Structure 1
Amino acid sequence: MRLLFVVCGEGLGHASRSTKLAKYLEKFGHKCYFASYGKALNFISKQGFTVFDTYREVILEGESGYFSLSKTVWSSKGVLLSLARSLRDIRRIIIEKKIDVLIADTMYAAVFAAKIQDIPSLFITNQNKFASANDEHSKHWEILSSVVEKYLTLPDNIIIPDFSYPNTVSAYNLDIKREDSSRYKFVGPIMDAKLSDYKIEKKIIFASFGGEPFKIPMYGMLKEIANERPFHQFEVFSTSPGLPAESRNFKTHGYTDDILSYMAQSRVNILHGGLTSIHESLFLGKPIVMIIDPYHPEQWNNGRKIEEIGAGIMLPGDKVTKETLSDAIDEALNMKVPDMSYLFVQEDGRVKTMAAIEDAVRKHNSR
């Protein structure tokens, strides 16, 4: 089959999991193409795939460094035009490359293009219910959840790149109706790593919790904590400018191809609460300190689940101080993370997604 992945370019989490899946599919003789935008374009190209530039559908915006739905809506007021342009681009690629199956990773116009061209489509997401720590019951989240729920009736299958219940990390971000449950496929994390590939150690404090403006001072707090803990080695990863100067036990890094090799050496992972990095930490059996954006509609819910299973501690970004961060690190250092290694074997996201693709093709062809 010839497959087209249409991938959200906000960050690299979407591109990372989609390219891992595509590499797996190509082992079975399938041909994979990509369409995306932003930093993801270069990342996908470096993975060896043909990638087409397409339109950004929504412009995510913030206020004082935090996610802002109102500003995002205002900045995305041309969303209908962007969707139309994206739809046009994706239809052209489907026709030119004779695409058999479309997989959209949180890109919405692509599924409409697949419908028009009458080919099977799948949508990758770990969220159909929206809420944030600071306004859980706001009407705007209810409206957004309702719109997305209706949209998700369009793809042949919806891929949830997470463990099945009751181990679903993103459980609080999902509300699946019984009548729709057969189309929601919990495939497990989409990863291509084996534990045997890594030497699991407890040598460093690993930190990669985003580059939003409100988080830059927190890297300064972390540097102060490092100064007070000469017996701990801090390894910090961020592509944002403004990080503190390095010292003997505080090292900074930009983008790295194999970040898991550093996470495997950690005693604690300080993260931002995104699903991909949480899965990576659980895979390696590392406790997590999550510094979340309290206005972000995903991170808080992921953090709630991680706290419930005893794998980490959540800190709202607008309330973090040097003292609370230091205390959270100490608490995490004494945590024993539940062994979830068996789940990564049982629920291989690549294997189960390929089965979901085959199921979508069968259903589409039987109509």
Structure 2
Amino acid sequence: MVKLMKILISVCGEGFGHTTRCIAVAEELKNHYDIAFIAYGKSKNYIESLGYEVFETYPEIKLTGYEGKFDIKKSIFNKEYNPTKAIKREREIIKHYNPDLIISDCKYSTIIASKFLKKPYYIITNQNYTKTDKKEKFIVYPVMSMLNVINRSAEEVLVPDLPLPYTICEYNLKIIDNLEFIGPLIRYKPKNIKDGGYILSVIGGFEYRYRILKYLAEIAVKNDLNVKLVCGSWGVGRELESYVNKLTDNPKNIEIIPFTNNMEKLIKNCSFIVCHGGHSTIMEGISFGKPLIVIPDLNHPEQENNAKKVQDLACGITISHNEIEKLEMAINEIQNNKIYAENAKKLKKLCKQYNGRENIRKIISKRLKRKKRNLMTRIKQEYLRTIHKIRTKI
């Protein structure tokens, strides 16, 4: 029996976007390779629920914020989440699993561990630079410069996005020699798409976005809109349900979804999506041809840049947490102006053309063939050297 090549996928568990696109990679590769994961927290639990082997690690950072505002300083510099601890743990995992190849989605502790152990690795990222004039640049720019030193050491840096000029993360990228646009890495295969007449909110996950969910519920009650609110947390879901019950005695048009394993159906059948500026969520939206209302976290330059690109491509509308009262007007604009839906559908066609799942499989397959070819060359050279030694002795 032929031994399958072993691939270890390491996931940054902050937000759910890294997790979903790594699952897309695993789903595409699992029939050809042995797959295992490095993960932590909710990400680890979710990946395990899908039947994959998962080695538990520690987070490098912890996303922190309050009332819609992202705190980049506290997120990165937090004594409770020590990168050194993660590196040590991940070295142990790599030694134990002994993979032929490592794929890391923004989990740089794994990359450092891989370098120590001389294991080849690919990096998946939608951010290696962040264009911003805000004070956060004094933290972001040095961090990104350091990460690009690591990025350049990878086999390739794979960007799960459309090529320029349609790149959602364009304002968060610096082109380096080993960077390649591979197209969206989403869990689903967009088909049988329709408009089910409801607004889908996928704001959830962090409590500091809660006020958006409240305001969207208020707008739904006021205008008799059908909305589905995915909270990403059972606690937030219970709190929101209590709030909605105070707003109306008959909240039949508001569905509160604390947590879901059926996001594909929700996206497929919605009219449009209200989301934060996370890259994976936006890529899923345009892959299904759905217009977007994007509300990036305050002081989160990466999300703000993604949101700006959505606005530039006119496939959606961007509003600020500071101007949350504009949400009702944005909903009316999306509903009444067809340009957003038309542009979203154009991007959907491009996403089908640049299929990230297929492309990453081709990239890994090429590397495997190259590895086999190099191995056969070494075997042949060793054979010839052995023959030469034998003949010399004779």
Quote the Cα distance in structure 2 between the aligned partners of 1:142 and 1:309: 26
Q: CA deviation at 1:358?
A: 4.3
1:261 maps to: 265
| Deviation by residue 1:307-327 (Cα, 9 ceiling, x = unmatched) | 111111111112212xx1100
Q: CA deviation at 1:78?
A: 6.4
Paired residues of 2:190 and 2:268 also in contact (CA < 8 A): no
Q: Which of the numbers 55, 59, 83 marks the counterpart of 2:58?
A: 55
Amino acid at match of 1:116: F
| Deviation by residue 1:307-357 (Cα, 9 ceiling, x = unmatched) | 111111111112212xx1100001111233322232222211112112333
Unaligned runs of 5+ in 1: none
Amino acid at match of 1:184: L
1:190 maps to: 185
| Larger CA deviation: 212-221 vs 149-158 | 212-221
Q: How many residues align?
A: 354
| SS across alignment from 2:301 | coil
Q: Which of the numbers 226, 230, 237 marks the counterpart of 1:237?
A: 230
Does residue 39 (structure 1) correspond to residue 42 (structure 2)? The answer is yes
Does residue 326 (structure 1) correspond to residue 328 (structure 2)? The answer is yes
| Deviation by residue 1:250-285 (Cα, 9 ceiling, x = unmatched) | 111121112121222222211112111111211222
Quote the Cα distance in structure 2 between the aligned partners of 1:99 and 1:201: 44
In the TM superposition, what are the counterparts of 1:1-367 in structure 2 within 5 Å? 1-28=5-32, 30-75=33-78, 77=79, 82-131=82-131, 135=134, 138-176=137-175, 180-181=176-177, 183-196=178-191, 198-230=192-224, 232-238=225-231, 239=233, 240-241=235-236, 242-243=239-240, 244-245=243-244, 247-321=251-325, 324-333=326-335, 334-336=337-339, 337=341, 338=343, 339-358=346-365, 362=370
Amino acid at match of 1:148: L
Quote the Cα distance in structure 1 between the aligned partners of 2:265 and 2:304: 27
Q: CA deviation at 1:65?
A: 4.5
Moved over 6 A (4+): 363-367
Decide which structure has greater helix share. 2
Quote the Cα distance in structure 2 between the aligned partners of 1:287 and 1:335: 10
Q: CA deviation at 1:90?
A: 2.1
Paired residues of 1:156 and 1:363 also in contact (CA < 8 A): no
Quote the Cα distance in structure 2 between the aligned partners of 1:22 and 1:72: 28
| SS across alignment from 1:300 | helix
Quote the Cα distance in structure 1 between the aligned partners of 2:300 and 2:367: 32
Paired residues of 1:123 and 1:159 also in contact (CA < 8 A): yes
1:58/1:364 Cα in 2 relative to 1: closer, same or farther (>3 Å)? farther
| RMSD of aligned Cα (Å) | 2.3
Unaligned runs of 5+ in 2: 246-250, 376-394
Amino acid at match of 1:205: I
| Deviation by residue 1:81-138 (Cα, 9 ceiling, x = unmatched) | x333322222222222221001111111211222222221011110011245x71783
Amino acid at match of 2:228: E
Rg larger for = 2
Q: CA deviation at 1:64?
A: 4.5
TM (normalized to structure 2)?
A: 0.83
Quote the Cα distance in structure 2 between the aligned partners of 1:267 and 1:258: 17
Paired residues of 1:4 and 1:35 also in contact (CA < 8 A): yes
Q: CA deviation at 1:2?
A: 0.1
Paired residues of 2:136 and 2:299 also in contact (CA < 8 A): no
Quote the Cα distance in structure 2 between the aligned partners of 1:363 and 1:74: 40
| SS across alignment from 2:271 | strand
